[in-house]
Structure 1
C-alpha cells in the first residue's frame, strides 16, 4: 500500500516538473511579453474608439456654431412666415421686392432705409433695433460702393469675391466682413434707385456656417430676385 502511494506521488511530481519547465520555457522565449503587449494594444484601441465615438456624439454638427446663441440658432428650423411686399422710392424711381415675414420693420436711425429685423417669433408690425439680431436693409457701404465702381469700369475687384448677377438692377452678390458684422449683399447697378448701394443681410459672424445663415441668405436671394423698379 505504501509502495503504491509512493509511486503515485512520484508520477505527480514528474508531471508538475514538466509543466513548470514548459512555463519557464514559454517565459524565457519572450512569448509572454509579446502576448501582454498585444492584449494591451487591443485594450487601448478599444478605449480610444470609445472615446472618439463619445466625442463625435457630443460635438456640434456642421449646421451649428457652438458660439452662437442657441435660441437664435433654433429658429432656423421654423418655417418662414409668408412673404410681404416692401415698397419704397428714391429720386424719380419706385421700387418693390418680396421679403420673408420673419422680418419686422424698424428705424435704423441711419442711412439704411428700409430696414427689417429678424424676429420670426414676433407678431408685431414694428420693432426696436437689437444689435444682436440679423437685419435686411438697403443702404450704402464703402466696400460695396468701391467694388461696384471697379466692376462697372471693367477693373478687377480685389477687395471682395463677387458672383455676377443676371439682373438689370444688380451687378453682383458678395459675402464679406466689415467691423464686427458679416454681410451678404447685392450691389445695385448704375442708374438704379439705389445706385452702388446694397441690398443686404447683416448678422453676427458667429452665425457663419449654420442653418440659420443659409435661411438668412435665402431671404436676401428672394428679395433680390423679386426686386423691381418703375419710373415715377
Structure 2
C-alpha cells in the first residue's frame, strides 16, 4: 500500500511533497493539518527493543540512540530519527523523541479529563504549529472539527463544571475553564470516525492561537491496550 492510500479522505488535511513544502505551506481554507507522507525504511521496532523494558515515557537523545547496538536495518531507522531531529532543530524548534509505554492518566478529573488520551487541541499565545511523527506502535488519531463538540458546551458537562467552580457562568468561570484547559477538550459526535495519522508520516498541525485563520486540529494519543507495543514518537 502506498503511503497516500492510508491517509484520511479529509478536507482539513493537505498532503505535501517534501519537508520544504511542509514548512512553507500556510494553513488556510479550513486546512488545519499538513502531512508529508513517507514510507520509511529501517526497523524501528529494533530501536524500541534495544531500549529495554520500561514504563511511562522514556526521553531519547542522540547519545542514547548512538549507544544502541543495532543491525543494518536498525541503523537505518536510527539514522532517520537523527535526521528528523536535525530537520526540526534547523527550523528553530525543540523536538522531543520519546519511547512511550503509557501516558499519565488524569485520574482526579471528576468531569473533564485533560490528559492526552482525550481528544484535544493545542494552544499557544503566538503563531506556531505542532509537529509530530509516529514511527512505531499505535499512531496518533484525529477528528474532523465538524464531528466534535467542546466538552464545556455540553449542557450537563457545563453544569457539572459550574458546580465545581462554585459560581456564576461569567467571565471568572470562563477564565477558570481556560486555566484548567477544559476548553481545549472535545467530545466526539455519535457518528464521528477518528482517523489515523499513520506511521512514518511527518505532520504539522494547527494550534489555537489569537488570530489563527483556521480552527485547531483536534487529536489525541491512542488508547493504550494490554499487549500494545510502546510508541516511538517525535513531537515539537
Q: Which has the higher contact order (CA 8 A, sep 6+)?
A: 2
Bigger radius of gyration, 1 or 2? 1
After TM superposition, the score normalised by the length of structure 2 is 0.26
TM-score between both structures, scaled by the size of structure 1: 0.26
Judging by fraction of residues, say which structure has more helix: 1
